[in-house]
Amino acid sequence: MFVIEYKVKASKTQYTAIDEAIRTTQFVRNKCVRHWMDNQGVNKYDLSKLCKQLGNEFDFAKKLNSQARQVASERAWSAIHRFYQNCKAGIKGKKGYPQFQKNNRSVEYKATGWKLDPNTKKHITFTDKNHIGRVKLIGSRDIYFYSPDQIKRVRLVRRADGYYCQFLINIEVKERLEPTKKTIGLDVGLESFYTDSDGHKEPNPRFFREGEQKLKQLQRCLSRKQKGSSNRRKARQKLAKAYLRISRQRSEHAKRLARCVVRSNDLIAYENLKVSNMVKNHCLAKSISDVGWYQFRVWLEYFAEKFGKVAVAVPPQYTSQECSSCGRIVKKSLSTRTHACECGARLDRDENAAINILREGLRSAIRSVETCS
């Protein structure tokens, strides 16, 4: 399943109707969470029944398509189920207790509540009682290439720079490539985005650091505006657009880099890092968040599945300390950037780690093949 996204062009009245549908989705989800909190033994079927009751009780909730209300209850149950799973797994610290949503930005339809225009391409009509109506879709992809049965869900998303329509297409995306007979190990870092086992260092673009000065200016401008004024709303929108631009830059960089790495190698080994734990270091939290390791890993796994390659996550313990030549443990601090061992090996610290990651990734791949056979 993959997503096709279009920019939505509509009138102010239609944008207001979309906002109303998004608020209703948030209302239904929060009501489902409250129902679960107040009643013991509530399951997802009980939350599904609650959607119909809310439609009968509140006129504004009834305007939203029934299946869109069902999706809101599914979102609530997803948060509840994740909390249950974390409790069963015995995760230390916060378990992710379901919270009430304050700033929902999307409404999602299933098979009903929308209809593609059969005569004019790039138009969609929402047929529920929210009166969103017919809107124009701006984008280069041809949604009419896919049959309506393949479109499982349609989502309207509000962002800082406008409204978007997403189509979730249920097809298998596979592309077979000729084997490159190459393997690679990746050691991600802050000085360089990653260092591979061949010694190549990919520069770290630092998108947030580059745009931080502009963000500070926009933040100061926002703080000077009177609360509730039109100028404050405009300043807040400018600030949100600046953050959105940085987020898109980071995501696009991770996606293009991951695609290039996967296409060029048959096996990719990378560190299985817990970024959520690493950002607890307040000295490095901003830099770790800026580099976008998690997004890079997600795209690596996606493209490996798409192109039929092997992506292996390797435990990060001792990958920097172990010598890639003799296996001896050489203790070093973060400030030590060169690996020097008694056996005579002397190379960059990150390159040494990348070689160890590749070696462990190959071992893991061999063990998994032997287990399957």
- Catalytically annotated residue among 196, 350, 351, 360: 350
Instruction: Give the whole-angstrom CA distance, residue 79 versus residue 97.
Output: 8
- Catalytically annotated residue among 74, 108, 128, 187: 187
Which ranges constitute the DSSP H helices of the chain? 12-38, 44-57, 59-63, 66-89, 207-224, 230-264, 275-278, 285-291, 293-307, 349-372
| Cβ-contact 131, 17 below 8 angstroms | yes
Instruction: Give the whole-angstrom CA distance, residue 353 versus residue 302.
Output: 24
Instruction: Give the whole-angstrom CA distance, residue 244 versus residue 252.
Output: 12
- Catalytically annotated residue among 271, 322, 351, 360: 271
The phi and psi torsions of 127 (rounded to 5 degrees) equal -105, 5
| Cβ-contact 183, 269 below 8 angstroms | yes
Let me know if 350 is a catalytic residue. Answer: yes
Write out the DSSP string of 85-128: HHHHHT-SS--------S---EEEE-SSSEEE-SSSSSEEEE-S
Let me know if 196 is a catalytic residue. Answer: no
Write out the DSSP string of 49-70: HHHHHHHHH-HHHHHS-HHHHH
- For residue 311, which of 327, 300, 321 has the smallest C-alpha distance? 300
Cα distances (angstroms) measured from residue 365 to each of 16, 317, 319: 53, 18, 17
Please identify every residue annotated as catalytic: 187, 271, 350
